[in-house]
């Protein structure tokens, strides 16, 4: 249980700072070594790691790619004509309780691990020496945390757009030679960039074409007593949870995000709650590996063993 808890906390921290797929790819060799040395079942360790990582890395804290998702959702609200916006820690209050529930489930309810010995053997360190000096590593860590702090300040004060702060620090990192231009471009999630660029006009088109009014009238005719935003948010969460088992969660956001916001605005509801239902439902994709890229890496790792 202790080993599992350490692994789940570590993958949560790394996942928040990077991404679910990147975290599980990074930890996979270490997890295989832990299972080899302790006798743990790899499937029982990889599945909790992928699930926790996939949940924790998406918008639980306003760090890393979560900032981009937050700006993406706020753009949906803006395009729909709503004056409301998400705060930096709104999704933290939504996601953190579920993170605790998943941790407790895999530690106490799910079938536990049995070690072949009482003590965990020390994992061999076969890693290559770092390309950075200790001084460089401290500077890089300082740049990272300063970037996060200034992005939070920029989001709260609205003096400058947060992405400009991140762009400045990215230029500093490349300019100082800590990352090459090729590495910097490879680190960009182009899938997210094109999805955002392609789906923001969708919200405008839904409003201007009258599609949102048609959807609202259709829903109101089917459910004439629907006036509670919690019910609508729950309905979208369940719908997205089902659809995302068979397609990417980013695609689910792209399709249902503008529709949910436009519907909530037209019905006089708080669109943030309804859109949160889409955001949360679309990442409850633990049932199949098709929805969560973080589940594909461990499957391939185990298949090659």
Confirm if 245 and 295 have CB atoms less than 8 A apart. Answer: no
Cα distances (angstroms) measured from residue 171 to each of 109, 146, 291: 47, 14, 33
User: Residue 258 pLDDT > 80, yes or no?
Assistant: yes
> Cα separation of 251 and 258, whole Å?
12
> Cα separation of 248 and 201, whole Å?
20
What are the backbone angles phi and psi of residue 176, rounded to the nearest 5°? -80, -5
Q: Looking at residue 272, what is its pLDDT?
A: 92
| pLDDT tier at 303, thresholds 50, 70, 90 | very low
Digit-coded pLDDT (tens) for 168-222: 888 888 888 888 888 877 767 666 566 556 655 665 676 677 776 676 677 667 7
Cα distances (angstroms) measured from residue 296 to each of 46, 96, 155, 250: 11, 24, 34, 16
| pLDDT tier at 301, thresholds 50, 70, 90 | very low
Strand, helix or coil at 4? helix
pLDDT-above-70 percentage for the chain: 70
pTM of the model: 0.63
The ranges assigned to domains in the chain are 2-118+189-303, 133-188
The arithmetic mean of pLDDT across residues 217-231, rounded, is 75
Digit-coded pLDDT (tens) for 18-75: 667 667 766 777 777 778 777 777 777 777 887 787 777 677 887 766 777 788 888 8
DSSP assignment, residue 131?
S
């Amino acid at each position: 249980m202790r080993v599992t808890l350490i692994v789940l906390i570590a993958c949560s921290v790394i996942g928040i700072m990077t991404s679910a797929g990147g975290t599980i790819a990074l930890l996979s060799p270490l997890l295989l070594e832990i299972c080899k040395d302790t006798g743990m079942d790899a499937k029982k360790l990889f599945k909790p790691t992928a699930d926790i990582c996939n949940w924790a890395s998406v918008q639980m804290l306003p760090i890393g790619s979560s900032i981009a998702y937050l700006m993406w959702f706020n753009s949906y609200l803006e395009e729909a004509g709503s004056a409301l916006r998400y705060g930096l820690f709104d999704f933290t209050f939504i996601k953190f309780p579920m993170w605790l529930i998943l941790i407790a489930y895999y530690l106490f309810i799910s079938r536990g691990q049995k070690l072949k010995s009482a003590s965990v053997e020390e994992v061999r360190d076969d890693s290559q020496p770092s390309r950075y000096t200790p001084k460089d590593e401290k500077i890089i860590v300082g740049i990272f945390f300063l970037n996060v702090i200034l992005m939070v300040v920029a989001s709260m004060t609205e003096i400058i757009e947060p992405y400009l702060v991140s762009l400045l620090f990215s230029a500093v990192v490349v300019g100082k030679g800590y990352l090459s231009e090729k590495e910097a471009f490879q680190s960009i999630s182009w899938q997210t960039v094109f999805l955002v660029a392609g789906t923001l006009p969708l919200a405008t088109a839904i409003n201007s074409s009258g599609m949102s009014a048609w959807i609202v009238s259709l829903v109101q005719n089917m459910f004439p007593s629907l006036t509670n935003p919690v019910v609508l948010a729950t309905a979208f969460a369940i719908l997205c949870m089902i659809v995302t088992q068979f397609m990417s969660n980013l695609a689910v956001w792209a399709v249902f995000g503008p529709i949910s916001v436009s519907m909530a605005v037209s019905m006089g509801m708080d669109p943030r709650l309804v859109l949160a239902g889409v955001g949360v439902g679309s990442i409850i994709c633990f049932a199949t590996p098709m929805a969560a890229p973080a589940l594909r890496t461990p499957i391939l790792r185990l298949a090659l063993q």
